Structure 1
Amino acid sequence: MTTSLRLSALILPVRRWGAGGRDQWRHAEDLGFHAAYTYDHLSWRSFRDRTWFGALPTLTAAAGVTERLRLGTLVTSPNFRHPVTLAKELLTLDDLSDGRITLGIGAGGNGFDATVLGQEAWSPRERADRFAEFVPLLDRLLTEPAVTHTGAYYSADEARNIPGCVQRPRLPFAIAATGPRGLKLTARHGQAWVTTGDPRLADTGTPEQSRAAIRDQLDRLGDACAAVDRDPGTVGRILLTGFTPERARILDSVEAFADFAGHHAALGIDEIVLHAPIPDSDFAVDQQVFDRIATETLGRLG
């Protein structure tokens, strides 16, 4: 076992900036997390009727109160984003943060974001079709000074993105995908890959079954990389926790989380993301235990 594993935080945008929001991002940096991400939704699950702020303005504010912490979305999707406007906002955010932004991006789902603009929810196939056009176009928009594109779903007419990203050739993409088309996009365009495990096992599976499913996902990611002659070792492997069978126990103690982290590092996961505590929610964990996990886990894995 090596200590190359990174720990990161997921901070949901549920606190007013002056009433705890600002402090959470600063605290994540003080704890030594590699990165802090937030969800890019307009509302989400049990928080639908609770406070919920926008992801990109939140990350902009977080960039202003941190210095070392990487920042990003986990994840953005085409559900309510267009690649032209998203590229401009990301380029600006990358500049404001002095090159600390990672774009987590996925195909989206059928939750609130899928219909909030008044459209019918897209089928899984249409989500995949849109994603297959969205990611390459966004890649071009962030690497080329002017882009014109006419596609089945998205168009750009001489879209300008000067001077480009601080990070070259562009800010990194962390692509959430488990199907063959999404893994192909990851192999071609992703600097990292994101999984939450197998959702079919979240409630009824065992930890062993979950790890076997993640191992299979990693094998298929390797196959997708091989198909485009890419070394799979050049793709980061991120696990967003909170959706695997053992989710209710892993933040009970440093020992419980270190055991979980060790098993997944052995699979090849190199970054594990923990939801920051939120009282009266599915993420209501002890803040002191969370802080100890952040500061003590890696030492236990050496």
Structure 2
Amino acid sequence: MMKLDGIAAFVAITEGGSISEAARRLRLSKSVVSERLAELERSLGASLVHRTTRKLTLTEDGAAFLERAARIVRDVEEASAEMTERRGTLSGPLRISAPVTFGRLHLGPALYPFLARHPRVELSLDLDDRRIDAAADGYDAVVRHGPIQDSRLTAWRLAPSRRLLVAAPAYLERHGTPEEIGELDAHAGIFYTNRGAADWRFQGPDATIIVRGRASLRVNNGDMMRDAAVAGLGIALLPTFICGPAIRAGELAIIDIGVAAEPESIYVAHPEGRHPSTKLRAFAQCLRDAFGDPPYWEVPDCA
């Protein structure tokens, strides 16, 4: 007979990439995790994992079994948490993915009080700027900045996010301050690469206006974009949650070209069709309350 602890071990191994990591996540010894996997394979009459000295990979049977196995583990965890929540206590695992810069600057400070109020919630927070597959990678939800492009996600808006063209005062003294959109082509740009094309997008009267300037730097991290702009390497289009403090400190100046960047938001999104748990709803409300509307990071004197 298949045992739940074997299924849980298999899922943890595939998500963690190794028996050692699965043992750490499950708080068990490696030998116990290995034996649970072996027992599951015996009960199924199939090998689920290729074992080599360097890594573990799924067999064809393992890949076929994984989706249902992950669903079983998630359903049991959610059922257990729901029973606890019925008694007025939030508990159980909550796995979230979020962008690096936003997570470090704003998500962490908002979460610490939430975790202090709900000590039985076991939060796993992965900071990664890449676009992950929430369902396939086993996340309860993802926090993201910008448009939600995955139609398999149900998104809840947490806060508006405004982006501004900025540059160091020294850069603008050397190269001049652009006053209209057509003048941007003559300037060096600092571009974010995780969204594909290196460009800036603005709200035109009838359609989006796309500007592809000369790139002095392409990078996949918002902190480095801000720092490069402060260093005078060029113009950057940055959300105020990143550039606000540098603007207030006089390290960056706002460039007004008469059009605004396309509006964006901070979202939390969960896989479509999955019933969101009470603790996920509480997590989202905690973030809304902490960020505010307008959010506390907004720059009030440049609206």
TM-score range, shorter chain: under 0.3
Question: What TM-score do you get using the length of structure 1 for normalisation?
Answer: 0.25
